Amino acid sequence: MADILAQKPLDGKKIVLGVTGGIAAYKAVEVVSRLRKAGAEVHVIMTRAAQDFVTELTFREISGQAVTTSMWEKVTQHKVEHIALANLADLMLVVPATANFLAKAAAGLADDMLTTTLLATQAPVFLAPAMNTNMYENPVTQKNLRELAARGFHLIEPASGLLACGVTGKGRLPEPVDIVAQVISFCAKERDLLGRKILVTAGGTREPLDPVRYLGNRSTGRMGYAIAQAAAARGAKVVLVSGPSALPVPSGVRRVSVETAREMREAVLREFDDADAVIKAAAVADYRPKNVAANKIKKSEGEFTLVLERNPDILWELGQKKRQQVLVGFAAETTKLEEYARGKLAKKNLDFIVANDVSRADAGFAVDTNCAKLFMRDGTVHDCPLTSKAELAGIILDHVRECLP
């Protein structure tokens, strides 16, 4: 680790580090020290309670910067506005994050400098929860953590062990070296897709039945949009072929809007040849109505039979055409997750497949969280426990990056 720090992996980064009032606040001192050794400029904000554990002077000395302790003090360096630090931050980190702070963050409160800065910043935010095990496991804390994860906050998993309160369990702040390692690895991959073209499909297709009706599915596009956004942020040129979706186009992404599976196929094939990777998060209808009525179908007594015909399997076709491209598929299943996922991986000639159990309430369609298993071509499996779609997008792109030539 010492060597890594000497390479200054955080050179030029401005990090705002929040310290809240937990016994682990003293460990934040070492976090600041390591961040500085790694080249970062660190600005510390302390809550009122944090100052009962560690003095402002300690952080001022170790960071080499003025420390913010109140909203109302005479600001020396940051030109007064309470959002100055929020704007300045390339990354925000809260060490330790107490249960009280997490509750305020989840609720969007802004009653001190730290919560105000958190609400105002657009920088990526890392939170390192640390507290008594019972407080950590309390359903309301867990609910707040899920809420924060769903909003894209990066949660640093607490460690287990003997806590200061004498209890043994989960809730310990991880070692400063591990916290800083997570920040470094996050920053390292910031532009690792520069110069790559990534084609992402998202949303569900709509297969018309008549001029007013269609067959569709529950996909909202959130997973695919999160991937497109993350890939663009990492420097890729991103084309997002999307079925109808209410989501805004992520910045730096070119969206091609389609409705049917056949339109999606055409758009994808047009963009395929020079793509480096294709990530097919779209929920493509396997069937379409054989006949599309020119006029609205009128109701009549008795049953109505709809004849469906097969849609092209776009991903299978890409698997046949594939040259250098990395191909990633999705498998949303309600049963036999592993068996079906491995079958599709082989049949469609993929590099890996992201499989999720859509029968869970907190994963799959129309929620901000997901949990998935990544089945790789070489037989390895990566388990991604419940996390935000933004975080899962990052994990998927890490694997794409590894598969790229």
Catalytically active residues, by annotation = 165
By beta-carbon proximity to ligand C5P, the closer residue of 207 and 368 is 207
Residue selected from 29, 187, 247, 282 as contacting ligand C5P according to rule CB under 6 A: 282
Taking CB under 6 A as the rule, does residue 315 contact ligand C5P? Answer: yes
Bridge partners (DSSP) listed for residue 253: 238
Number of residues that bind ligand C5P (CB under 6 A): 14
Residue selected from 330, 356, 394, 400 as contacting ligand C5P according to rule CB under 6 A: 330
CA gap 265, 273 in Å, rounded: 13
Taking CB under 6 A as the rule, does residue 398 contact ligand C5P? Answer: no
| Closest distance of CB 314 from ligand C5P, Å | 3
Pairing of strands 352-357, 326-333: parallel
Residue selected from 11, 81, 273, 286 as contacting ligand C5P according to rule CB under 6 A: 286
| Closest distance of CB 347 from ligand C5P, Å | 8
CA gap 74, 401 in Å, rounded: 47
By beta-carbon proximity to ligand C5P, the closer residue of 60 and 336 is 336
- Report, in this order, helix, strand and coil percent for the chain, each rounded to 5: 35, 25, 40
* Residues between 171 and 230 with contacts to ligand C5P, criterion CB under 6 A: 201
Does 96 sit behind a cis peptide bond, omega within 30 degrees of 0 on the bond before it? yes
CA gap 227, 96 in Å, rounded: 29
CA gap 143, 149 in Å, rounded: 10
Q: What is the enclosing helix (H) or strand (E) of 36?
A: helix 25-37
* Residues between 239 and 278 with contacts to ligand C5P, criterion CB under 6 A: 261
Please report the sign of the dihedral spanned by the C-alpha atoms of residue 30, residue 35, residue 39, residue 45: negative
| Closest distance of CB 257 from ligand C5P, Å | 16
**What 3-state DSSP class applies to 115?**
helix
Which among 4-12, 171-179, 187-195, 324-332 is the span making contact with ligand C5P, rule CB under 6 A?
324-332
Taking CB under 6 A as the rule, does residue 280 contact ligand C5P? Answer: yes
- 346 alpha carbon, distance to own chain's centre: 27
By beta-carbon proximity to ligand C5P, the closer residue of 73 and 286 is 286
| Closest distance of CB 29 from ligand C5P, Å | 47
By beta-carbon proximity to ligand C5P, the closer residue of 29 and 353 is 353
Taking CB under 6 A as the rule, does residue 390 contact ligand C5P? Answer: no
Task: Give Rg (Cα) of the chain.
Answer: 24
Q: Tokens 């009962």 correspond to what residue?
A: 52
Residue selected from 56, 259, 266, 313 as contacting ligand C5P according to rule CB under 6 A: 313
Which among 33-41, 51-59, 307-315, 388-396 is the span making contact with ligand C5P, rule CB under 6 A?
307-315
Residue type, 400: V
Strands (E), 81-149: 91-97, 125-129
Pairing of strands 197-202, 237-242: parallel
CA gap 3, 259 in Å, rounded: 52
Which among 43-51, 64-72, 133-141, 313-321 is the span making contact with ligand C5P, rule CB under 6 A?
313-321
Residue selected from 123, 233, 284, 345 as contacting ligand C5P according to rule CB under 6 A: 284
Q: Tokens 């990530």 correspond to what residue?
A: 279
Taking CB under 6 A as the rule, does residue 344 contact ligand C5P? Answer: yes
| Closest distance of CB 150 from ligand C5P, Å | 23
| Closest distance of CB 344 from ligand C5P, Å | 5
By beta-carbon proximity to ligand C5P, the closer residue of 38 and 261 is 261
Burial (CB count within 10 angstroms: exposed 0-12, middle 13-18, buried 19+), residue 66: middle
Q: What is the enclosing helix (H) or strand (E) of 41?
A: strand 41-46
Binding site for ligand C5P (CB under 6 A): 201, 261, 280, 282, 284, 286, 311, 313-315, 329-331, 344
